Structure 1
Amino acid sequence: MSLRFRQLQAFHAVIETGTVTAAAGQLGISQPGLSNLLGQLEREVRFSLFDRKRGRLVPTTEAEVLFREVDTVVRGLDHVAQAVSDLQNKQAGQLQVACQHSMSFDFLPRVIARFSQSRPDLAISFQSQYSTKIQEWVAAGLFEIGICEMPLLHDGFVVRRLHFETRIALPEGNPLAQYDELTPELLEGQPFIMMGSEHMTHRRLREAFQNSGVPLRPRVHSHLFRNLLSFVKEGMGVALLDPFAMEFDNSGGFVSRSFRPRILMDMAIITSSARPLSSVGAEFVETLLREIEPYLVAAPSKGRDGTQA
């Protein structure tokens, strides 16, 4: 098998943009040229990459698996190209940050914007992604700083652990808003909007209800805290959310209350122990820790899966 990077780049661009037209524009080549690259790649891998449905290219199951591997390669070369460009242009520095989703929508862009005000020549690379991918990127040197959820799946990180208290989001007008603090007993019968079964908040919420002898009533499962909050605002149930999903949402339609037993989100700022942190990166980490400090709580006691009375 003789795979060429340009073929992988074309494949990556089509999945990211959704169309051959957009992908060709992104890569600066003609549509026939891009289609030719895809055809070459399909002949090399010997399976179909896309099905055409209603005029759109839909990745096959095999293509989705391949994309996860190709994504790291393509982004890695993009970072190399950016580094070369920075050196050629003698830029003052580059900030490379990858963050899990809940902090990425409002909180972290504000921190980065304030940080960059006194650094007008700073080049910024920012990406939101799932925590497992962030760890891969930092380990591979594609990003210098990662903010991710625990657990850590790789060795070789300098780790700054973070713990945040979750809260219950209720639809506006829910009678339970009369309470300052909610418990499994008070929430009995309420439909829950929940993260997937492998997420720490799902496991810890289920444990809290089991320990209280109260049945938990899941109604909707989703993969982002922001999605959970949207379902809450639509009146479909209540949700256990980290503070960043609610703190910067000014659209209304919900209220939040404390939950007992306390359930924490365990997160970390990670950098590579194999590569020294740049001066810009070190300054940003210190800034980020100061900005996060008001949201932090003490680490959970040992022997419990993140719940505290």
Structure 2
Amino acid sequence: MSLRFRQLQAFHAIIETGTVTGAAEMLGISQPGVSNLLAQLEQQTRVPLFVREKGRLLPTPEADHLFREVDTVVRGLDHVAQAVSDLQNSQIGQLQVVSQHSISFGFLPPLIAQFARDRTGLSISFQSQYSPKVQEWVLSGLFEIGICEAPLLQDGLSAHRFQVACRLAMPQGHRLSACRTITVRDLAQEPIIAMGPDHMTHRQMRSAFQDAGLPWQPQIHTHMFRNVLSFVREGMGVSMLDPFALDFDREGGFESRPFEPAVHMDMAVVTSRHRPLSRIGQAFLDLLLEQITPYTVAGFKSD
């Protein structure tokens, strides 16, 4: 016996609504269409499913038994259909994002929250890591999308490269806060808080001091942007930080100014070349690139 799902669906809808009219409205088909499906089912099963009494359909005991079996199937397929619809509309799935530290604290959580607000079935995996690990994890498939600093150390990554201009951060009320732009010579007597020697901001600041004939002797070295900013708040010196670390900080206690010569951070949003992005991943990537654009240096050309 080959029963068609549409027949079972019509039978299920009649039991659920109590009438052929109600079943037709539920299924979005005509009343004759529902009656025809029911007649086919009764003919194929050779089991009386309804008795007609004063224009109403009353289910037989056999129909009640069949309904209990059919209910699981129909509701299960309805769930599948809804899941397909949600996937088509990027309502469910898994968002997998890993980011270097400065952009991961203040900038990304509100953006992820905005993205997830109308996606009630969304599962989120989010981590903060150093840039080499970000690239490694995206390449290995642990995460779909990564935000990292240059250089790219892994083959097999697709990259949306961008560049941001750093600013000099200083304690609140610092003497240099009266300046609209800070120059390297303004820092001749200032204690400097620097990222590690391998970091691009460290190298650019060192070059700026050397070009100006000034000694480059940072008082504090650290490897976390949030640590740098904490030391600045405590009045232990000034430092060069990117706009994501500065503009999305919630604690305050510091000021920032443009710096000359310009110090830039080269960054990238990376995905794997070997795996297609999920619909969820693509939708978030589009939003991420849109939100990053206002912070990027105009005219930056990647290699």
* Fold match (TM-score > 0.5): yes
The 1:266/1:169 distance shift into structure 2, 3 A limit, reads same
In structure 1, the gaps of 5 or more residues are 1-85, 303-309
Q: CA deviation at 1:106?
A: 1.6
Q: What residue identity is the alignment partner of 1:212?
A: A
Structure 2 partner of 1:190:
190
2:185·2:212 contact (CA, 8 Å) conserved in 1? yes
TM, length-normalised to structure 2: 0.68
Residue 134, structure 1, aligned to residue 134, structure 2 = yes
Q: 1:275 to 1:121 in 2, by over 3 A?
A: same
Question: In structure 2, what is the equivalent of residue 81 of structure 1?
Answer: none
Paired with 2:301 and 2:159, the residues of 1 have a C-alpha distance of 19
Q: Does 2:246 correspond to 1:246? A: yes
1: CA distance between counterparts of 2:224 and 2:191?
18
Residues 144-223 of structure 1 aligned to structure 2 (within 5 Å)? 144-223=144-223
CA distance in 1, matches of 2:178, 2:217: 21
Contact 2:162 2:300 in 1 (8 A): no
- Distance in 2, Cα, partners of 1:121 & 1:231: 41
The structure with the larger Rg is: 2
- Tell me, in whole angstroms, the C-alpha distance in 2 between the residues paired with 1:268 and 1:301: 12
User: In structure 2, what is the Cα distance between the partners aligned to 1:159 and 1:252?
Assistant: 33
User: Hey, what does 1:123 align to over in structure 2?
Assistant: 123
Compared CA separation, residues 232 and 264, structure 1 to 2 (3 A) = same
Identity %: 55
Distance 1:132 1:271 in 2: 14
Match status 1:231 vs 2:223 = no
| Aligned-pair CA distance for 1:301 | 7.8
Contact 2:147/2:269 (8 A) holds in 1: yes
Confirm whether residue 283 of structure 1 aligns to residue 256 of structure 2. Answer: no
Q: Do the aligned residues in 2 keep the contact of 1:93 with 1:123 (CA within 8 Å)?
A: yes
Give the total of aligned pairs: 215
Tell me the TM-score normalised to structure 1 length: 0.67
Consecutive aligned runs of 4 or more in structure 1 exceeding 4 Å deviation: 299-302
Greater shift in the superposed pair: 249-258 or 224-233: 249-258
Distance 1:262 1:185, change over 3 A: same
Paired with 1:264 and 1:138, the residues of 2 have a C-alpha distance of 24
Quote the RMSD (CA, aligned, Å).
1.9
Please say if residues 157 and 271 of structure 1, whose CA atoms lie closer than 8 Å, have aligned partners that are also in contact: yes
Alpha carbons 1:99, 1:146 under 8 Å: kept: yes
* Structure 2 unaligned blocks of 5 or more: 1-82
Q: AA paired with 1:265?
A: M
Query: Which residue does 1:70 correspond to in 2?
Result: none
Amino acid at match of 1:129: Q
